[in-house]
Structure 1
Amino acid sequence: GSRFLSKGVNAVLPFDGMIPKNSIGYDLLHKPGFDKDSWIEQVKARFQEWGFNTVGAWSDESLYEKSGLPFTPILHLTGNDAILRLFEDDFETFVRRRAEPQIGKWRNNSKLIGYFTDNELPWYGRYGWPSGPPSLLERFLGLTSDKNGKRAAVEFIRNRYGNDFSAFRKAWRTEAASFEELLKAPAPSPRAAGARRDIEEFLAVVADHYGQIVSRVLDELDPNHLNLGVRYAGNAPDSVLAALGPYLDVVSLNLYRKDGHIPRRHLRRIHTLSGGKPILITEFSYRAMENRSGDRNERGADVTVATQQERAERLTSYLTELLDLPFVVGYHWFLYFDQSPGGRTLDGENSNYGLVDIYDSPYLEVTRALARIGERAEVLHGEAEPVPPWTPAARIPRYDTPVITEPTVVIDRVHPPPSSVEWWGDEAGGASGETVIPAGRNLFRARMKTGGGWGCGWTFPLESSRRRGRNLAGTKSLEIDAELEAGTIFFVFLNEAGVGPVGADTYAGDRGADGESYTSEELIARDGWTTYGVPLASFQLRDVWGNQSGNDRLDLQAITTIDLYFPGNQGDFSMGLSRIRALSQ
């Protein structure tokens, strides 16, 4: 075959099947005189005009069968709950029963590219994106003792700790007194950092087992088409990417970016950890408050702009940058039509994601922009230069004259004043935070609700000017004295001078800093006042904030703020903080 860049659209349908009662939505199917063959011809003409060549997931099967366009169906083999059946004796039979009738319809179609096997599996526990506890390991450990999944999780834990239950209890909180009792006990909860490593390693076991079974079923039923993967929800843990990568032909990734800029380093990471497999962007979109469907854009990925012209500008920027990555093999827009203003029945999404409004009238600013980029997409992609492989940890520069040569307090009860500490969070997801009058050991005491979304955090400025930053050259680790409830999950962010949103016009900071933002590994709180050591060698570049095209170096000579971040789904709690110190070792 020849080179093919897949330019697709998701959910190309004549009818939105998720319109709530007493609301309006996209519906050509039930209009008098609707003719399916005429609709197929209309879709083909629009695809040609708008620069598309692939019918994406969740689309009307008549398009797969009659349009003559390449297509990529989704099989939905497991999902959020069915993944817990993974270790059951009948799981492979379960997968085959779901796959066989679908694959049987399409495997002899010459326009079939391959199959997505699932969408946004819950690698992070509840969902396919970071959302707080429970982890997937905790979910398996929460099964009843008659389930193979529970036995597999307990056996994994037993092997990890060399049959030493006392070592396990140092990392996990449980009412069980032995591995035998753990099999019948409720799910334990993380106590210390060792639990995080257990969670990561168990994900590798889950991903490998999933990959083995699903790829075996696909090879048996259709060895001639591609395994297009599981459509990661923007990201996946390192262990999942590495374990599942060998089983995939293509890594599929749903990637929404409000600013219109591509996180190149993040995509390099996914590409590298997946064994160098090509990446297909399987969902991206923009939505505008100015739309003809009456969509308020209250639920769904936050890619909201003001106007249709801004939608066109953001998608043009997104795709231009995406096509500059040689390992990307295509992009699929989400979705064909606007969602109902009443909110789709699945989850209430009421977004202007459509290429057409609910009355089937195209948004010309958007479709014309897609046509312009689609017309030259292959040329742009062909000109993409090779990119270096991703390397994991932040580079910590050596300083000839380090400033931090002994433990140095950078945040305490005097600096910064509590009034300058900023809360930020997912208010739409129910997050909130407030500070209270400092007392005792506290720099300040905060109360917070992490909500059900991505959570919230606190920013502590090191200097009055976010452009200047404080010189912490020579720092090897941070030491944080904090009071939290046991099991609370949090992260530490270090922000260089010049930091700002992804895609900002400039990231110029003091003393050569270039506005990158770095995150620690996950930390798990112990009960009461505790000193947490956080080595800088474990920090990695964040892909949702800061410069994504910087020097990949933690510029300690100009650090402007330190953030504490708390993922969602952790309930309500308070935090006390007395100081943060920079250490030279």
Structure 2
Amino acid sequence: MVRKIGWMIASAVMAAMLLLPSAAFLADEPAADEPAAERTAAPGAAQAPNGFVDDLNGFGMAYQRGNLYTESGTPAYYGNDANRAVRSTTSTGYVVYKTDYDMTSFAVYSYFFTGVTVVPHRIFASVDGTAYAEAEANVYTSGEPASNWQLYAFEGLSLPAGTRYLKIEFAGDEKSWTPQLAKVVINRNTVSVTASPNTGVIGSEPISVSLQTPSVGAAVYYRTNADPVFKPYAEPLSLTGFTKLDAYAQLDGMEPSPIRGYTFFSQADMQIDRYGQVIGASFAAKVTSDEQLRHDVSVDRAYYGSLRKPADFDGLGGLAGSRKPLKLKATGFFSVQQVKGKPQLVTPQGNVYFSMGVNGITNNETYTKVTGTTDRQKIFEWVPDFNGEYNGAFIGSKDNFSYFMANKYRKAGEMPTFNQFFAEATDRIKKWGFNGIGAWTPSPQAQASGMPYTLVLPLNGMAKPAELKVFDIFADGAAQAIDAAFANALPALKDDPNLIGYFVDNEYAYEKFISTVPRLKASTTGLKKRLVQMLQEKYGDIAAFNAGWNTAFAGFSDLNETPLYIDTQQASDDVDQFFRLYLDTYYGTVKQLFEKYDPNHLLLGDRWLTLPMQSTKIRGILAEEAGKHMDVISINHYSPNLDTAMLKDVYEKSGHRPILLSEWSYGTAEQGLAPIVPGSAATEQDRGWRYRNYVEGAAALGFVVGAHWFDYVDQAAGGRYFQGIGGEHYNTGLVNVADRPYKTFLDAAMKTNKSVYDVLLGKKQPFYHDFGDTPGGGEGKNLQIEIPYTSEPIPIDGVLNGYAGEAGSLTLTAENLASGTGGEGITGDYHLAWDENNLYLTALVKEPTPMMNGYQNGNLWKGDGIELFTGPGELALGGSLQFSDRQLIISAAAVNGTNYWQWFNTGHQPAITMNVQPTGDGLGYVLDAAIPWTSLNIDPANGREFLFDAGFDDSEDGINRARQWVWNGTSKDNLDRGLWGLAKLVGEPAP
């Protein structure tokens, strides 16, 4: 029998990750009532040598240690091991073991967080404890990861003769808390199992796999596809489908070997081919052989050799010879000057400059995670050996691989350096008519390129509450931290004439500021502390505050740790005032400290997201406050159409600050990637026309100073690696994963890039292709519905029942499609009723991929679900949502019997009663909900009217919303209550 292992892994996912299953998990073990016994020694087994096992429950077995302490938190991530050795700081740490006998072998088990670069342990051996030499070790992952923590095993089998000291070194300067050392075995380790072959692709014939260990007499055990049972190995295995094979060996009197995994792929499971392309996608430029890639070399040479940058560009991409006719000044740096009465960028030499930059001129987003769970691994047709010829296409470890870089290697026969990649990319974009480098490009290369470029201020790692992605300018020492960061980063580039300026960080969640900040804690955020201080300064007396906010606090100190909710108009006005105070303080501090270290370059704003820009109130506050301090307003404006009304509003309210469209793009689904703006482009030609509409439409406004495309190369089909499994995988590139340019799209882009100055100066009308959609997102339909009274509560059982006839019903069809394309035949039938306590809603949604929603938070709208909008007051008032308005999204996916919903435009998350069930044919679902009137801020009564709208979201994968249907409004219902319809409660309650 196999003896019991001292500490076990309880999680099914983590089973067999660090130590092996107990005897009960082995197929040949005795029944529960059979007495336990030690397994007899296998024939040929050697007597166990001197040695030990250290489970790191402290450092009592260690001889020396440095910069290490014992960590015991979140043991579920570490196979339920409650004690691991961890560094105190990011400096090198170590632990040394000493014996009075020779060490001959070791096994070291350590957990690494896969979200940062994995820096393996280095292990050193010594005879005398003075002179150390690095010991050879086989390193491999063991078992499945848990919450981004992966167990690695380091196995050394032949230490130098006379070794009495073993040193395990910790390195890596990103995070001190990774790795976490869990177990050390000296001289008592059974050697791990090898498989022959160690991988392979299974087609129509099975693969025969044999298992072996160098430990003579050891028993070998295996399991397939995370089966909880490890079986004794007796003869070669015949594998017929995708198989994740785990195996270990056990020698009597010794520790079991680490569990070692091998993967055998099935052709039928693969989703991404050896070139990084989606197998199920068919497109003209798809690569099917290495020979095609090698042929691309001559094709590319001819194509790029035929291109020339626009003839009217000066050396920086400005309009050559425009200084004198436009009466501009050469200041030696990029500046903002008036051109035809509106602000525009001007080159250091004095020529007008419309910035057509490219974001992300880097290969970073082409890397994807190729390791992990069985389901993850089997989607790839081919992943090369980490230590083989494709090593240069990995980043950091064997976990993350770039098929783009592998294809570059196949083309050229050598792996390009990043500098070579960058030089080639910038040469290409110049020929396509782009004239600058946007954000997310490494600064040394951008600086050396000779092109105009932009950078992002070093604020990203500072003072941001976990609940809200904004810089906490009121945190203790925030201004000092900014000063130190600027002092370190800015002076070196302050005299560079090609640097346009700096963005002030990126995409803050300003749309959440007003509802989230009052619910923070003053003990952890300066934002809440300063808000309480402002309220105390304003009201002075707590009674006055309570009256205005409808609260009952005994003193202002009680506000510090207590969530505050915006339930009155006064509260709404106060938090709006604090939002202004925050922005003025933040922007003002950044401006003052920026000019201290760099008086020459422009502040380009903080790259606002499209979502807060669609709210007239939020964008108005942002524009007014940023306009006091920023030289340029920057907006990451992803939209099917250029929202000119929004841009004009920001321009006016900012005091006529110029606007830079700092990030945007369009994509298609032709190559199997996700389109970054769903429904905007069906083909590459559409993509080109959207580009022309966007850039020329922006230039024609006169106050937009540039449009920066995102990005140079498509994101990886498997998702960009730093977001793990499920990362962004958008068709955003100018070239694809095979380094093949999108020539049809680029032909259109070049026409715009070469004529943009004629459009800017009014010499040419902007290009416009009518796609048949509405640039502003559409208008409301002014629909009305009467909701009948019910004397009996509607059953919440996931069945359409309890309603009287067709009263209070509505149907959503193709005419109600508010965003996305396709979805033919998808419908939503709604039934509504009311009583004194609840608004009842039952929706029958018919669609082919029902109940797909992978979220349990504010992203519910991305998956299948029902949307509801209500506004109790000011029925004739449109624009931004009032504090009493409500948006509710109810998920159509129940996870382990648990239902999910999310309230928006409020910090409150009151309960509802709901049920969701699939239809009998599996082609839809029924969702019931009873929604308390108190949560809607509505007093129900016969004849009561309120603003109302309803819709549903459709996802085909549970991750991305493909389409949205809305009864009365458009895709902008969450931002403009004027788009909603009207509901009226009818029927008298029973006496």
Q: TM-score range by the shorter chain?
A: 0.5 to 0.7
Query: Counterparts of 2:974 and 2:357 in 1: how far apart (Å)?
Result: 33
Pairing of 1:421-570 with structure 2 (within 5 A): 422=812, 435-436=830-831, 438-440=833-835, 445-446=840-841, 452=859, 457=867, 489=904, 525-526=936-937, 529=940, 561=968, 567=974
Is 1:143 aligned with 2:521? yes
Query: Counterparts of 2:473 and 2:886 in 1: how far apart (Å)?
Result: 39
Cross-structure match for 1:369: 748
Cα distance change on mapping 1:99 and 1:357 into 2, 3 Å:
farther
For residue 380 of structure 1, report the CA deviation from its aligned partner. Answer: 0.4
Query: Counterparts of 1:3 and 1:33 in 2: how far apart (Å)?
Result: 40
Cα distance change on mapping 1:577 and 1:228 into 2, 3 Å:
same
Cα distance change on mapping 1:109 and 1:526 into 2, 3 Å:
same
What secondary structure is seen at the aligned counterpart in 2 of 1:238? Answer: helix
1:338/1:353 contact within 8 Å kept: yes
1:435/1:444 contact within 8 Å kept: no
1:170/1:191 contact within 8 Å kept: no
For residue 561 of structure 1, report the CA deviation from its aligned partner. Answer: 4.4
Larger Rg: 2
Query: Counterparts of 1:483 and 1:262 in 2: how far apart (Å)?
Result: 28
1:77/1:99 contact within 8 Å kept: no
1:124/1:136 contact within 8 Å kept: no
For residue 26 of structure 1, report the CA deviation from its aligned partner. Answer: 5.7
Q: Which amino acid aligns with 2:749?
A: L
What secondary structure is seen at the aligned counterpart in 2 of 1:190? Answer: coil
Cross-structure match for 2:645: 265
Query: Counterparts of 1:381 and 1:417 in 2: how far apart (Å)?
Result: 56
Q: Deviations over 1:67-105 (max 9, x none)?
A: 110000112414753745311341112112333333244
Out of 518, 522, 531, which is 1:153 matched to? Answer: 531
Q: Deviations over 1:391-450 (max 9, x none)?
A: xxxxxxxxxxxxxxxxxx9643379953325498999xxxx9984552447996326999
Cross-structure match for 1:276: 656
Cross-structure match for 1:109: 496
Query: Counterparts of 2:935 and 2:540 in 1: how far apart (Å)?
Result: 23
1:16/1:27 contact within 8 Å kept: no
RMSD: 4.3
Query: Counterparts of 1:416 and 1:103 in 2: how far apart (Å)?
Result: 68
Cross-structure match for 2:606: 230
For residue 321 of structure 1, report the CA deviation from its aligned partner. Answer: 1.5
Query: Counterparts of 2:642 and 2:752 in 1: how far apart (Å)?
Result: 16
Cross-structure match for 1:420: 810
Cross-structure match for 2:638: 256
Q: Which amino acid aligns with 2:693?
A: S
Cα distance change on mapping 1:434 and 1:346 into 2, 3 Å:
farther
Pairing of 1:125-144 with structure 2 (within 5 A): 125=512, 135-138=515-518, 141-144=519-522
For residue 225 of structure 1, report the CA deviation from its aligned partner. Answer: 0.4
Is 1:247 aligned with 2:629? yes
Greater relative contact order structure (CA < 8 Å, 6+ sep): 1
Query: Counterparts of 1:345 and 1:219 in 2: how far apart (Å)?
Result: 37
Query: Counterparts of 2:631 and 2:590 in 1: how far apart (Å)?
Result: 13
2:532/2:556 contact within 8 Å kept: yes
Query: Counterparts of 1:356 and 1:249 in 2: how far apart (Å)?
Result: 33
Query: Counterparts of 1:116 and 1:268 in 2: how far apart (Å)?
Result: 21
For residue 310 of structure 1, report the CA deviation from its aligned partner. Answer: 1.4
For residue 142 of structure 1, report the CA deviation from its aligned partner. Answer: 1.4
Report the count of equivalent residues.
Answer: 459
For residue 335 of structure 1, report the CA deviation from its aligned partner. Answer: 0.8
Q: Deviations over 1:36-66 (max 9, x none)?
A: 5543442232122211010111113343232
Q: Deviations over 1:239-264 (max 9, x none)?
A: 12211211100001111112xx3211
2:667/2:674 contact within 8 Å kept: no
For residue 356 of structure 1, report the CA deviation from its aligned partner. Answer: 0.8
Query: Counterparts of 2:836 and 2:707 in 1: how far apart (Å)?
Result: 53
2:403/2:737 contact within 8 Å kept: yes
Is 1:51 aligned with 2:428? no
What secondary structure is seen at the aligned counterpart in 2 of 1:295? Answer: coil
Percent of matched pairs sharing the same residue? 24
Cross-structure match for 1:209: 585
Q: Structure 1: any 5+ residue segments left out of the alignment?
A: 127-133, 386-408, 461-474, 492-522, 536-559, 569-575, 581-585
1:119/1:230 contact within 8 Å kept: yes
1:116/1:229 contact within 8 Å kept: yes
Query: Counterparts of 2:972 and 2:502 in 1: how far apart (Å)?
Result: 37
Cross-structure match for 2:670: 290
For residue 309 of structure 1, report the CA deviation from its aligned partner. Answer: 1.5
For residue 149 of structure 1, report the CA deviation from its aligned partner. Answer: 3.0
Q: Which amino acid aligns with 2:737?
A: I
Pairing of 1:92-103 with structure 2 (within 5 A): 92-103=479-490
Cross-structure match for 1:319: 695
What secondary structure is seen at the aligned counterpart in 1 of 2:627? Answer: helix
Out of 558, 565, 568, which is 1:181 matched to? Answer: 558
Choose between structure 1 and 2: higher helix proportion: 1
Query: Counterparts of 2:722 and 2:418 in 1: how far apart (Å)?
Result: 26
Q: Which amino acid aligns with 1:154?
A: V
TM-score, scaled to structure 1: 0.68
What secondary structure is seen at the aligned counterpart in 1 of 2:454? Answer: coil
Choose between structure 1 and 2: higher strand proportion: 2
TM-score, scaled to structure 2: 0.41
Pairing of 1:353-392 with structure 2 (within 5 A): 353-383=732-762
For residue 534 of structure 1, report the CA deviation from its aligned partner. Answer: 8.5
